Structures are given as C-alpha cells and as structure tokens.
Structure 1
Amino acid sequence: MRIGEQLKRARSQIGKTQEEVANALHVSRQTISSWENKRSYPDISSLLNLSDYYNLSLDCLLKKK
C-alpha cells in the first residue's frame, strides 16, 4: 500500500502544509507526518475525511497506480 506517498502527493498538489491539513482534520501535525512517512496508517474515519479534503476517491488513495 502506497497511501503515504498518495497523501503526500495530494497535499503538495493543493499547496497545503502538514499543519494546515492537520488543523482541518482535527489531528496533530505529527499524525499527518506519520501517515505520510508510513509510520502509521489512518483509520477508516480518517481515510474518509482525507478523501473528502483532497477530493480524491478512496480507490485513488488506497490502490496502487
């Protein structure tokens, strides 16, 4: 699963910092960093929020391209 890479790419494409995404999703900046660097993975609720925030389908976030 390449979700960390997908999350980092999506964030970069909209020009947001980890802090900005964290504030919007009500998580810590360290949580965003952990997801992007594959130290942990978002739960299903967070995945849905990320999908909405980045305007990406869950397939796009979870499946390899």
Structure 2
Amino acid sequence: MATLVDRRTSPARPKKAAEQAELERLRKKVARLEAEAARKDAALELMGNANALLELLSESAD
C-alpha cells in the first residue's frame, strides 16, 4: 500500500498556482466570447444581405 500515490497532488504533478488557474480560466472565457461574437457578426451580416436582397426583389416587382 505504501507505493500507491495520488498523482493528482503528487510532486510529479504539482498544483497550479491560483493565478495560473485564474489566467487559464479567463483565457478560455475570452476565446469562447470571441467565437460567440464572430458567430453573431456573421449572423448580422447574413441578415443584412438577406434584407438587401429582399429590397432588391421588392423594387424589381414594382
């Protein structure tokens, strides 16, 4: 039983400093928010293009 080691907290795998953990969490959050913003920008551009196309079709129908 003496050879069993909890590798999650053993010297081979030291705990991350609180600052490092916070930086990692914030970097992941920034990446997620940037991806979300990019999706929303693409959706807005698509909506604008659809609106312009509908206006064009409406003008040509008159």
> Which of the five TM-score ranges fits, normalised by the shorter chain?
under 0.3
TM-score between both structures, scaled by the size of structure 2: 0.25
Structure with more contact order per residue of length (Cα contacts < 8 Å, sep ≥ 6): 1
The structure in which a higher percent of residues are helix is: 2
- Higher Rg: 2
TM-score between both structures, scaled by the size of structure 1: 0.24
